[in-house]
Amino acid sequence: MLNIRILGSGNAGQVPVWGCDCAACERAKQDDTFRRGPCSLEIRTELGVTLIDAGIPNLAERYEFDEIQRIILTHFHMDHVQGLFHLRWSERPEKIPVFRPDDQKGTDDLYKHAGVLDFQPAFIPFETIQFDDFSITPLPLLHSKITLGYVIEKNGFTLAYLTDTVGLPETSQAFLANKTLDYLILDCSEPPTSTAPRNHNDINLALLAYHTLQPKIMMLTHISHRLDCWLMEHGDSLPDNMLIAKDGMTVI
């Protein structure tokens, strides 16, 4: 069993953005299905739940302690780790392993006061880790903090989860080019821009990745209200197998 679900599909500002009255934010205020929380992924197997990133602030309300098998972090920006600050105070004797990139600073005092969070030695890029229920391979991404994407594989199924990034390093792109990707879930925060964004993909870079890597299905995530506004007018111009992530959406 391998069930994968989008927990959050938004960028740091989320949707609706506080104080904004753009078309996308107004739509989200009226219809909760268009709200976007912090970008994150849930992998559920017969052994439990693996979370990729922990930016959702109410994780303690969503999951029982014994459900969470492990947490895997892409990077230490606050919108990807803020949920950990509540979880760590549990007084259970058991520990929850937290896998991470090689960022010696982390965020705030998480390393110093980890509580039930058991931070593991840093992942080594391109070194595949075989868990009991699936394998995962970390890939370097291009972001303002040390950031990893992940290739998840089980029984011939391959999914790449790549957020936050602007384009891809050559080494990561070459690695992915040798894979048959059933799903590519890719950061795309912005509508088409004349110059490449600083930290996140726009539609132009997402389309470049789509044509280069040729996944069977591509899903855009880490979406801003600016991109949502563009999609409201131009979404039908995207390829048929390029989907837009929504909070709670089942991938497989």
- Is 251 inside any structural domain? no
- Cα angle, residue 71 at apex, residues 69 and 77 outer, rounded to 5°: 165
- Cα angle, residue 61 at apex, residues 91 and 135 outer, rounded to 5°: 80
Query: How do beta strands 183-187 and 217-221 pair?
Result: parallel
* pLDDT of res. 198: 84
* pLDDT of res. 248: 98
What is the rounded CA–CA span in Å between residue 173 and residue 211? 12
pLDDT in tens, 46-60: 999 999 999 999 999
CATH of the domain at 8: 3.60.15.10
- Is 252 inside any structural domain? no
> Whole domain around residue 172: which residue ranges?
3-244
- Is 249 inside any structural domain? no
Q: Which candidate, 105, 112, 103, 48, places its Cα nearest to that of 85?
A: 112
* pLDDT of res. 1: 87
* pLDDT of res. 2: 96
Report the domain count for the chain.
1
Rg (CA), the chain: 17
* pLDDT of res. 197: 81
Enumerate residue ranges in the chain where pLDDT < 50.
none
Length of the chain: 252
- Is 250 inside any structural domain? no
pTM: 0.97
**Residue 138 is encoded by which pair of tokens?**
């970390």
- Is 187 inside any structural domain? yes
User: At residue 127, what is the residue type?
Assistant: E
* pLDDT of res. 213: 98
* pLDDT of res. 194: 87
Q: Which candidate, 26, 27, 52, 49, places its Cα nearest to that of 39?
A: 52
pLDDT in tens, 14-41: 999 999 999 999 999 999 999 999 999 9
